[in-house]
Structures are given as C-alpha cells and as structure tokens.
C-alpha cells in the first residue's frame, strides 16, 4: 500500500503505527456498522497523542503528523500513517488529522492555544475560482471580493472533529486579505450536529468566525496553499484507507460466499467489481505518491487538487462496488460496508467537491502558466 512513499525512516514509523492500529484501534472498534462510543474514541485519541502522533510544543517526535510537511520528500510519511489508521478506523484517522493540522498551523502562526482543530474550507467550500485567483496573486474584481467575503466571512461554517478541543483555527477574509482566526471553544457561536453523513463517532460543529485574523508572520498566501495541500492529502489518504478496508471486506466475503454451488469470487461480475476496486486503490496510490513527494506548498497545490478531484470519485466508486459484491446484505448496517461508503462520500464533499476542485485547478494552472 502506497509503497512508492517508503524509505527506511518511514518504515520504522509505520511499524509503530501498525502495532497501534492492530492492537489499540482494532480492540476498540465496535461491531461492523456501529459508531465507536465516545469514551472509547477519547481513550484512543489520548493514546495516539501519547504515542506522538500529534505534535506537542517543545516535544518533537518522528511520529507527529504533518511535521514532515516541509521535508525534502514531502509529507509522505503522514500520508502513509493516515491511510493505515483509516484502514483500521476512519473516524480515528480524521479526528487525528484535524487536530494535527491545527497543531501545525498553530506552530506556523506562532500561537499556542492548546488543543486546537483546523478547518480549511469556508462557508461554501473554497470560493470556486476566486480563491485560486487570490492565491495566485491575480487582480481581484468586485465579484471575487464579494465571494471571498461571503465564503470566508462570518457566515456559518461546518467542521467535523472530535469534540474535545480548546479552539478552532479557520480561514477568515478580512480587510482584503485571507488570514487565520483562532477562536476559543467557549467563544464560538456554535451548535453541534452529531448526526452527519458518515463519521457518526465525531461531531459536526456549525460555527461562526467573527474574530479578526491573527497577525502571523510569513506569506499568508503561501500558508493557505500549504494548508490546502496538507488538508487535501489528509482527506484523500483517509478515504483511501476506508475504501481499502471495504474492498478487503468484499473480497473476504466473495471468497466464502457460495451461490449456485460456486464460490462467488469465481463469477465474472464479482471479479469485475473487485478488480475495479483494486485498480482504483492503485491509481489513488500513484496520485498520492506524486502529490506527497515534495514539500507542501504552492508547487504541490496543483498535484494535490488534481489527486483529490480524480481520486475521491474513484474511491467512492470502489467502495460502492464493494457494497455491490455483498448484494442486498451490503446495504445493511450490520455488514459495515454502508458506513464505509458514507464515510468515503463525506470526505469527497468536504474541503471542496471534485467539480469545485477541478475549477480551482484550471484557474490556478492558467494563472501560474
């Protein structure tokens, strides 16, 4: 899985993550189709923090997610870790990703607000081509300004994360520029929406960001580009892990289920469904390997957006094919595959849907030549 991203250091990290996934996560995972109980998830996240998967100020660790964002080989290690964790449990992986991205942004901005989660999208996705024009340094017209102000203004937004956090970091359009606002949990004008399309073990928080952006050093456009890369790689890696789990479950079922006196894995239609799923995983591996093989930033924004625009569609189809292998049983909650499909579809919809990502990418590439 994602072997193109391997090196000796990554292999050592993955061995540690493999033990954590196979023991702690697997033991805490409930029966197929059921959401993980809140206490079990909180305990797992504490264990993951103790392992070093989320960076702590002043305590660097080779396991910390997104600490490799600026490395020569890029954030390849973090992509591998999230994909492996998501294969064990997608909700655990997404909760860790949101928190680790928040820790990375907090360090980059020079603030230490405690446990923080980050969301990259605005009120309606990514403001279509207007955000691409802004990040590319193009002149903005009145429509761009209005759209950026609407999408990244003080209107309601959504973020899916574990509920145990101290603050939210979110992009905020203010004074003709895009920055990052940090809002303490107690000061959020927020309401919880626990029942979402997928990821029932997490909380979907509807909130408003009215605070002005933090000052923060460095280039704000470059920071937003890096955040889009890391969030995009994380979401696609988690979807990849969840889809891989579904394809494996479908293959296991097909090797044991008999129909008409024949094990169904010998039926051509079932073989086609499984082959399609496995092919999708290989294609997404190649897309992730290309996008994650260099330091996160403006140079890798295009490959990351392209990987998400194509990869999420392939993974949703692969997971749906896995459901089809089980026939009517695949749609039953007890089989577990319908939850995997909802989780994968959830990840396809956040942080920019595939059509929006394609529009963003087209504008970005044209402006940058």
The pLDDT tens digits of the residues spanning 244-293 come to: 999 999 999 999 998 888 899 999 999 999 999 999 999 999 999 999 99
**Backbone dihedral angles phi then psi of residue 198, each to the nearest 5 degrees:** 95, 165
- For residue 4, pLDDT over 60 is answered with no
User: pLDDT-derived band of residue 1, with 50, 70 and 90 as boundaries?
Assistant: very low
Tens of pLDDT, residues 164-190: 888 899 999 998 999 999 988 888 877
- For residue 53, pLDDT over 60 is answered with yes
pLDDT of residue 336: 84
What is the average per-residue pLDDT within 143-160?
91
pLDDT of residue 143: 95
- For residue 47, pLDDT over 90 is answered with yes
Q: Among the residues of 64-139, which ranges form H helices?
A: 76-88, 90-109, 128-135
Same domain (yes/no): 84, 141 = no
Same domain (yes/no): 321, 238 = yes
R_g over Cα of the chain: 20
Name the residue with tokens 């590319």: 136
Last residue of a domain, one of 79, 113, 147: 113
| CA–CA dist 90, 35 (Å, integer) | 11
| CA–CA dist 199, 344 (Å, integer) | 9
Same domain (yes/no): 192, 313 = no
Domain that holds residue 207: 117-220
Last residue of a domain, one of 194, 220, 246: 220
Same domain (yes/no): 144, 237 = no
Cross-strand pairs, 168: 117, 183
Q: Which of 143, 315, 186 is nearest to 241 (CA)?
A: 315
Name the residue with tokens 């101290």: 166
| CA–CA dist 259, 269 (Å, integer) | 13
Same domain (yes/no): 213, 228 = no
Tens of pLDDT, residues 185-233: 888 877 887 666 889 999 888 888 888 898 876 788 999 999 999 999 9
- H/E stretch holding 301 reads helix 298-325
Distance spanning both ends of the chain, measured CA to CA: 34
Same domain (yes/no): 290, 354 = yes
Percent of the chain clearing pLDDT 70 (strictly above): 95
Asked if 75 and 292 count as a contact pair (C-beta separation under 8 A), the reply is yes
C-beta pairs of 363-366 under 8 Å, 24+ apart in sequence = 363/129, 363/132, 363/133, 363/136, 364/132, 364/135, 364/136, 364/301, 364/302, 364/305, 365/302
Residue 245 belongs to domain with CATH number: 1.20.140.10
Longest Cα–Cα distance in the chain = 70
pLDDT of residue 316: 97
Same domain (yes/no): 253, 343 = yes
Same domain (yes/no): 138, 260 = no
Same domain (yes/no): 299, 281 = yes
Same domain (yes/no): 109, 121 = no
Give me 253's structure tokens: 């079922």
Last residue of a domain, one of 86, 113, 140: 113
| CA–CA dist 243, 32 (Å, integer) | 14
- For residue 5, pLDDT over 60 is answered with no
Same domain (yes/no): 227, 364 = yes
Same domain (yes/no): 181, 287 = no
Percent of the chain clearing pLDDT 90 (strictly above): 63
pLDDT of residue 270: 95
What is the average per-residue pLDDT within 116-137?
91
Structurally, the chain folds into a number of domains equal to 3
């Amino acid at each position: 899985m994602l072997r193109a991203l391997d090196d000796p250091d990554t292999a050592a990290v993955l061995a540690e993550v493999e033990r954590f996934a196979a023991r702690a996560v697997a033991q805490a995972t409930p029966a197929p189709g059921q959401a993980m109980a809140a206490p079990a998830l909180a305990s797992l996240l504490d264990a993951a923090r103790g392992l070093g998967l989320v960076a702590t100020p002043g305590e660097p660790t080779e396991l910390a997610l997104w600490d490799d964002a600026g490395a020569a080989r890029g954030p390849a290690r973090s992509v591998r870790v999230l994909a492996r964790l998501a294969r064990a449990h997608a909700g655990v992986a997404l909760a860790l990703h949101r928190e680790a991205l928040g820790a990375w942004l907090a360090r980059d901005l020079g603030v230490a607000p405690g446990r923080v989660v980050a969301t990259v999208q605005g009120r309606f996705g990514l403001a279509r081509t207007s955000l691409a024009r802004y990040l590319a340094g193009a002149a903005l017209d009145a429509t761009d300004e209005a759209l950026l102000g609407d999408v990244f203004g003080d209107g309601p937004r959504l973020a899916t994360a574990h509920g145990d956090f101290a603050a939210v970091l979110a992009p905020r359009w203010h004074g003709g520029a895009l920055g990052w606002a940090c809002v303490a949990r107690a000061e959020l004008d927020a309401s919880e929406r626990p029942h979402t399309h997928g990821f029932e073990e997490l909380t979907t928080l509807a909130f408003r960001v009215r605070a002005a952006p933090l000052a923060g050093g460095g280039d704000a456009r470059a920071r937003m580009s890096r955040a889009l890369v890391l969030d995009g790689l994380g979401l696609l890696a988690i979807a990849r892990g969840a889809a891989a789990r579904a394809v494996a479950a479908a293959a296991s079922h097909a090797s044991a289920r008999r129909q008409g006196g024949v094990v169904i894995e010998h039926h051509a239609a079932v073989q086609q469904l499984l082959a399609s799923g496995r092919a999708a995983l290989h294609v997404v591996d190649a897309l992730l390997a290309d996008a994650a093989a260099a330091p996160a930033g403006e140079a890798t924004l295009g490959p990351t957006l392209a990987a998400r625009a194509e990869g999420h569609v392939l993974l949703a189809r692969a997971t749906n094919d896995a459901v089809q292998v089980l026939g009517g049983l695949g749609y039953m909650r007890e089989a577990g595959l319908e939850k995997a499909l909802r989780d994968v579809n959830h990840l396809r919809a956040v942080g920019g849907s595939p059509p929006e990502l394609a529009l963003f990418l087209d504008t970005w590439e044209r402006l940058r030549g």
